[in-house]
Amino acid sequence: MSDKPQIEGYDHTPEGRELVALLQKYAPPAVDSRKGAQAVMARLGGVRPRGRLHLLIRLAPVAAAAALVAVALLIFTPPPETPETPAPVAKDDNTPAPTLTDIRRERGYPEIVATVRGSSGDGLLIDAGAKDGLRVGDELSAAGGVKARVTAVGIFEARISAEFPLSRGAEVRARAATAAQQRAASFADFGGDPGAFLEFGALVSAMPLADARMLGISDGAALRVDETLPALLRDPQTAPAPTLAAQLDLRAGDVIIEVNGAHVRTLNDFGQALGWSHDPRLLTVRILRNGKQLDLRL
């Protein structure tokens, strides 16, 4: 047997022994990791940074980590939404909002604007009448300061006389200054057509509840006459004809109670009652005038 120590992990054949001999002769010695670590620690222990350099070396990892966190937040945080710019708010100077009346007054409204349509009797015919608030005696103005006066009025047209001749198509205007003109402007603003009442020759309105009850009307529903028209221009080439209201002697301030025996409470009631009166000679209207009840008929 050989005196050489046996190496575990290899066979003991001649080839194996020869391979082991070669490894032992030419292989480098095994590295002692413990000694290498001790040498590195000895070197680090021999040179220690001092002062600010020592502090910077210790804080360097912390600063690097903070920088990485900041970069990550910058990359992954969505951009902030841009707030909408609020609309400018008008300065509150305690000025109330303008009403329709204020706007009309500022712009010169209401105003009647009519056009000359041609000759009519001894004057000119314009396309505005009682429905627009025109009444006999009202004044209108044309271009160049020409003045005109209403001499006869129909529901939708009127006859005027002018200081100087006006050609066909000329415009005449009038500010709504009278009560009739302002009443017509209110119809235009809030709707309604007083044509049926103008045909009858009277304009009426709902009476205030307290006033009606003071007159003994228990339910407080009644109509009061605001205005009567003595005559209307029915034919542009003839004289105006008296209205039914004028023939009945209906007056402003009268309170209408019944028409042809039917109790009248609203404008709709009054309009329907007048529509049923096909024969004016049979028309009767019961009213209150100065506290007295009267029956008016032709």
Q: Find, among 176, 174, 173, the residue nearest to 101 by Cα.
A: 176
Instruction: Report, at the CATH architecture level, how domain 104-178 is classified.
Output: Beta Barrel (2.40)
Q: What is the pLDDT of residues 4-28, one digit of tens each?
A: 455 555 567 777 777 777 777 766 6
Please tell us whether the domain made up of 194-298 is placed in CATH 2.30.42.10. yes
Average pLDDT of the residues of the chain: 78
Q: To which residue do tokens 């046996």 refer?
A: 6
Mean pLDDT of 98-118: 67
- Flag whether pLDDT at 194 surpasses 50: yes
Q: What is the DSSP string of the chain?
A: --SSPPPTTS--SHHHHHHHHHHHHHSPPPP-HHHHHHHHHHHHHH----HHHHHHHHHHHHHHHHHHHHHHHHHHSPPPPPPPPPPPPPP---PPPPPHHHHHHHHT-SEEEEEEEEEETTEEEES--GGGT--TT-EEEEGGG-EEEEEEE-SS-EEEEESS---TT-EEEEE--SHHHHHHHHHHHH---THHHHHHTEEEEEPPHHHHHHTT-TT---EEEEEE-SEE--STTS--EE-HHHHTT--TT-EEEEETTEE--SHHHHHHHHHH--SGGG-EEEEEETTEEEEEE-
Q: What is the pLDDT of residues 268-290, one digit of tens each?
A: 888 888 876 667 778 899 999 99
Structure tokens at 63: 């600063």
Mean pLDDT of 165-174: 93
Domain ranges of the chain: 104-178, 194-298
Model pLDDT, residue 1:
47
